[in-house]
Amino acid sequence: MKAPFQLTALEARRQMDAGTLTAEALARSCLERITEREPQVDAWQHLASDAAIARARELDRGPVGGPLHGIPFGVKDIIDTFDMPTEYGSPIYRGTQTRNDAACVALQREAGGVLFGKTVTTEFANLTPGKTKNPHDPRRTPGGSSSGSGAAVGAMMVPLALGTQTTASTIRPAAFCGVVGYRPTWGDLRLSGVREAAGSLDSLGLMARSIEDISLLRDVLLGRPWQPLEGTPPKPKIGFCRSHLWAQIEAPAAALLEDAAQRLSASGAQVVDIDLPAPFSEVLDAHRWVSSFEFARNFRHEVTHHWNLISEQLREGRLKDGLGCTFERYLEARTFLEGLRAELPALVGDCDLLLTAPCNGEAPIGTSTTGNPYFSALWTAMHVPCLTLPLFTGPNGMPIGAQLIGHRNRDRQLLDGARWVSSALS
């Protein structure tokens, strides 16, 4: 029998509906898990234990209400909360307190969710890592920039957490930490109260331990009634997309994905190869100029007034690129990406989803970087929904994910297709 902290959000919700679990019991179990694992993982920038217990008790005094009733969650520390500091992973903002919740936090609280605290982010959700370690091996990176959210869910501290993604900041830590990570169609989820990095690319990112939990949280954040994923999903047509990045994948990860494509075909899915034409090899360069140009202008105040408190890694990377990028170069890159987005549907054709890699293999040893971001950046730039599933284990016992790419504005079809893929490969 599972301990409460091991339950997915929907499993916990069903037990609360049945009267066999209280919100307080779930909160205390998760807090005990945090006490056990946090010294090794360091997922939290701010943990509000007393407030979580008080909120859980308040929920227990009333009827079971919203779809997240009593469910613990964490949010990346670039997301505003009225009752906790928001520090953006930077000493510039240490102890800063905003007056309002971000829209995504307000929606979760109104749905009955119990906010446990703020999870560690890299500096301004960019390059320089925070203190978090991989929950499966503390010698290894948890990925970034939503490192704390991925590690908190991967260590079973909370069943749900929010991150963001501008390049690879949700999919990569989810894959490295062995959880389900989802980056929706660009523009679907509101970013009011979330510190902007590059608005042309930014999106919320959702992390959980099941596809069904991702669907539940997505509906909450869309502000609509929960529509459960039910029934047996149809067998999808799957495009296996190695892309020009395939040579960078570690051999064990490549072999696992090749085997997965064969197993999916043997299970009845139609699997075809999808090749991206040569211009797609230039997406990463265009992404670099768009994201850097916007980032450098969004952080003009910090550049002007707090340059010495910005890490050298950020100054010599994203900011150097962005400050040196002309508007003409930015506009050329932005227009180039817009053109490829228009071409992508014809290339994918009648495939329901694409199968590809979320990253180049297991989380690498060392916490001074967050790993290779390119495998996610390609799809982030295309504005399409992406989902990574923790389906495999690598030669060092670390999680390896499979990334599924959906059609723009057809996220629910992606989630249903992911259910079928997960069942076929489990």
Q: How many CB atoms lie within 10 A of CB 233?
A: 18
Active site residue 200: no
Look-up: residue for tokens 């340059």?
307
Q: Give the other-Cβ count within 10 Å of 66's Cβ.
A: 18
Furthest CA-CA distance within the chain: 61
Q: Comparing C-alpha atoms, which of 97, 108, 118, 98 is closest to residue 42?
A: 118
Question: Which entry of 29, 76, 147, 203 is annotated as an active-site residue?
Answer: 76
Task: Say whether 145 is catalytic.
Answer: yes
Q: C-alpha angle 416/419/420, rounded to 5°?
A: 95
Cβ 117 vs Cβ 76: under 8 Å: no
Spatial distance between the Cα atoms of 140 and 152, rounded to a whole number of angstroms: 15
How many Å apart are CA 176 and CA 359, to the nearest integer? 8
Encode burial over 40-50: b for 16+ CB neighbours within 10 A, e otherwise.
Answer: ebbbbbbbbee
Residue with structure tokens 């890159």?
333
Q: Are 405 and 379 in contact (CB under 8 A)?
A: yes
Q: Is 171 exposed, middle or buried (0-12, 13-18, 19+ CB in 10 A)?
A: buried
What are phi and psi for residue 363, nearest 5 degrees? -60, 125
SS3 237: strand
DSSP element (H, E) containing 181? strand 180-183
Angle at 183 between CA 177 and CA 184, to 5 degrees: 155
Which of the following is catalytic: 147, 149, 169, 422?
A: 169
Catalytic residue among 29, 145, 149, 311: 145
Element (H, E) at 284: helix 283-298
Alpha helices in 178-244 (DSSP H): 211-222
- 114 Ramachandran zone, left/alpha/beta (phi>0; psi -120 to 50): beta
Q: Is 169 a catalytic residue?
A: yes
Token reading at 370: 């967050």
Peptide bond into 146 cis (omega under 30): no
Tokens representing residue 132 in the block: 């978090």
Looking at the annotation, which residues are catalytic? Answer: 76, 145, 169
